Chain A
Amino acid sequence: MSSVAVYGTVLGLYLAVLIAMGLWMGRRTRSAEDFYIGGRQVGPWVTAFSFVAAYFSSVVIVGGGAFGYRFGMSTLWIAASNVLIGCTLAWIVLGRRVWEFTKRLDTMTIPGFIGRRYGAREAEVFSALVVFVFMIVYNVSVLVGMGRIMEGLMGIPYVTGVLIAGTIILIYVSIGGYLAVVWTSFVQAWIMIFGLLLLGFAALRAVGGISAAAVSLAAIDRGLVETPGVWGWGGLVSFALIVSFGVWGMPQLLVRFYSMKSTRVLRLGTVLATLGGAMALFPYLTGALSRLLLPALDNPDLAIPMLTKQLLNPWGGAIFLAGVMAAGMSTFASVLIIVSGAIVKDLLGGRKTNGARIARADAKKDPDRGGSREVRLGRVASLGAGLVSLLIALRPPALVLVITAFAWAVIASACLWPVVLGVYWKRGTRAGATSSMIVGAVVALGWMAAGRPLGVHGFIPGVLVSLLVFVFVSLATKPPPRELIDRAWGKGEVSADV
């Protein structure tokens, strides 16, 4: 069997399974709550592994390998921060509270949570706009990554690769909604883990083990094994924080917390998400090892694809490619459902529809009408948002590719504190939340546009300034109304938590 036939068989099978899952989940999607958060009925295994799959995109796998190639073993600290801050602590600190607050406030989206927690429609609209613009751009980068790796490994023309991946995601997300996203992500997480382990261990074997690799890398440059090594503290720490602490403000990951069927899910889910998150080690480690196996690469982004070709047979290569595709598709799909929610629930819905409550009232009058109308809207919105990303990705303008580097920083800088302090600090006010979001997004964007002064990622100044603005403006303005706090914290629990 030729290698193209092997790749075609594995990928064809994999993509057919995804479509079948989308169609199956579509039959279980009846209400808006089903479409956006799986009816809050998702268990620990699916929640945890779909979290991990959405967290690590194909950009992380290919880009992580490139970072490992350029900066060496110090990039293992990025993986460590991914696991500790992005998985374990995120689940422990935010999981329970985000679940409880979104349930009490009856909301299915992060912009909706921000709007209701602070009684601030303007904050809801602003965060929905940030999500809409920057998540679409983020998805462009994910598609571009998938198209390039399909081109590199299979020789499929870039445009064809983007069209295949994008179309299949659009089909299963628009039909199956959130349930399709989390169940396909659950399967995709295992394919990613298997693919990364396969390549990682093949690379370790080829270099004679990690100790031998450390000696050889140190012989090239001691900075390739030391921390911070050739990268320096500014670049390493700020990048590690954006891809770990930034998670705390990313809607496509926070949604996993409020789609759980109960907070009991958190116990096993936290352990599973931590174990699954540990796969982040492999792109960086493999990238560092590839410096020894492919010493003269002009473009470090090619480290992982080239290594796959060099070390794995066609079946192994096809499984690894499926893993990279899985990483990209799960992230793209997770983001798509969030953008759809931002459009339908937050930008178009607003006060008039008052989200789920009205849908439920509609459904009471006519059990099919209220739910299915919102589901139809959600499907159209996810299809539309996905098509926009797809069309841009076919021939991405240089400006869009530049903005993709800003997407995480801007979304996290805008949403992180209104979410984190929204569930921990009762004194946070409408003015504090709104001003912190605007200032955080502008500072992150401005810092990146200025060319990352001091080598620091825009997320760091963005998130620091937005924290200061949130606290000072909140303390300088009138405390939020009692009924708003009672509703968010639940009556009776208020005094215990003040």
Chain B
Amino acid sequence: MAGPLGLPWSTFAALLVIAASIVIAIVWAGARGSGGRHDDE
């Protein structure tokens, strides 16, 4: 069954994984920056 962009959902999900990776990286960096773990200098 066709999903967004005319691709099947099973293939379109690959693009979602890339978008999710970017979100994960930003959230993780934000969490470390807002008083998370200590950073070494």
Binding site for B on A (CB under 8 A): 73-74, 76-77, 79-81, 83-84, 87-88, 91-92, 96, 99-100, 210-215, 225-227, 229, 262-264, 266-268, 270-271, 273-275, 277-278, 281
Contacts and interface: CB of A to CB of B under 8 A. Distances in A.
Contacts of B40: 99-100, 262-264
Given A83-B21, A267-B32, A262 B41 contact: yes
Contacts of B8: 225-227
Nearest to B26: A271
A211 B32 contact: no
A273 B29 CA distance: 12
B39 A264 contact: yes
Give the interface centre of A213, A226, A267 by most chain B CB atoms within 10 Å: A267
A88 B24 contact: yes
A173 B1 CA distance: 51
Given A88-B22, A273-B25, 8 more contacts: A83-B17, A84-B20, A227-B13, A264-B40, A266-B29, A270-B28, A274-B25, A278-B21
User: Do most interface residues of chain B lie in helix, strand or loop, or is the interface mixed?
Assistant: helix
A210 to B, nearest CB: 5
Contact of A212 (B6, B10, B28, B41): B6
A91 B32 CA distance: 13
Question: Which size bracket describes the interface of B in this complex?
Answer: 20 to 34
Interface of B: 2, 5-8, 10-11, 13-15, 17-18, 20-22, 24-26, 28-29, 32-33, 37, 39-41
Given A88-B25, A211-B5, A267-B33, A80 B18 contact: yes
Contacts of B18: 79-80, 83-84, 278, 281
Contacts of A214: 2, 5-7
A36 B10 CA distance: 43
A277 B33 CA distance: 22
A225 B11 contact: yes
A317 to B, nearest CB: 27
Contacts of B28: 92, 270
B7 A77 contact: no
A99 B39 CA distance: 11
Contacts of B5: 210-211, 214
- Please provide the 7 A-B residue pairs with the shortest distance between their CB atoms, ordered closest to farther: A211-B6, A214-B6, A76-B14, A80-B17, A227-B10, A274-B25, A80-B14
A262 B10 CA distance: 40
